[in-house]
Structure formats: C-alpha cells, structure tokens
Copies of this chain bind each other. A is one copy, B any other.
C-alpha cells in the first residue's frame, strides 16, 4: 500500500502550494514514502526535494485513508499524512519539475482549484488545533464521493 506524506508551510498568513500542470489543481508539496523511512522524514525529504526549502518543526495534522472507487468497487487505497510547518529555511523555487510553486493567502484555500478532500485537510492543518483523521472516497478522476472526518486534541497529562 502506498504511503504519501505532504507538508504545508504557513507563514505570515500565506501558504506555499504546488500547482500541478495537468489540471492546474493545487496541492501541498509531498510524495511517496520510501521503504523504512519514518513518515516525518518522508514529509521533510519530499518537501525539500520539491521546493528547495527546509521546513522547521513540522508537525502532523492529518492521517487519512484514501480510497478510489469505480462502479462501486474499491480499486486503490493509500495512506496520506499531512504535516504543517510555520517556518522554513532557504528560498523556495518558483518552478519545479512537478509544477509551479506559488504563495497564496490562507483564505484562498477556500476557492483555489483542488481535490475537495485536500481543501478539507489543508484548511484543518492551517486553522485548527489537534489532528484530523478520516476516509476520503474518490472516483478515478478525483471527484469526491464521500468524506468522513474526525479529530482529536491532546489532553492534559494526568498520569500521576
């Protein structure tokens, strides 16, 4: 099963997004975990490979089960791990082999073209405390069929 890690930088009210050339949809930079890699290292490595910038203190914001269904049958399933960082080192590229890198306002996440599940996830990552979980079911063309989301926050330590 594929494991994908992506990472959203949010600094000074702006987020760094990758515009993918095929449909001009926006995503957070990221990509496939490698065998034996930890999920946070995947997110850092993929982000750095795609942007030339290094995220500072990334933190997990979402753990998602992604499903593709066609004619009612599950034809693919993978895990998506979404991280956020509030700062970075280096200067992000403007263009990479994956697409254009652009800064947009947080508010633009509501309206930029993207997979609807990504919109849910990126808005949560930027605006909410805690971690979000869920299952997103898409058509092969990435029309969202169904999303089921949950969230949790760290409680107080009370193990004494």
- Report which A residues bind B (CB closer than 8 A): 1, 3, 10, 13, 33, 35-41, 57-60, 63-65, 67, 74, 77, 79, 81, 86, 106, 126-127, 129-131, 133-135, 137, 148, 150, 152-155, 157-160
Contacts and interface: CB of A to CB of B under 8 A. Distances in A.
B63 A150 contact: no
B40 A150 contact: yes
Nearest to A34: B65
Nearest to A128: B157
A41 B151 CA distance: 11
B63 A127 contact: no
A74 B81 CA distance: 23
25 contacts: A3-B79, A10-B159, A35-B74, A35-B77, A36-B67, A36-B135, A36-B137, A37-B135, A38-B64, A38-B65, A38-B133, A40-B133, A40-B150, A40-B152, A41-B133, A57-B155, A58-B152, A60-B60, A60-B131, A60-B133, A79-B79, A86-B158, A129-B157, A131-B131, A154-B154
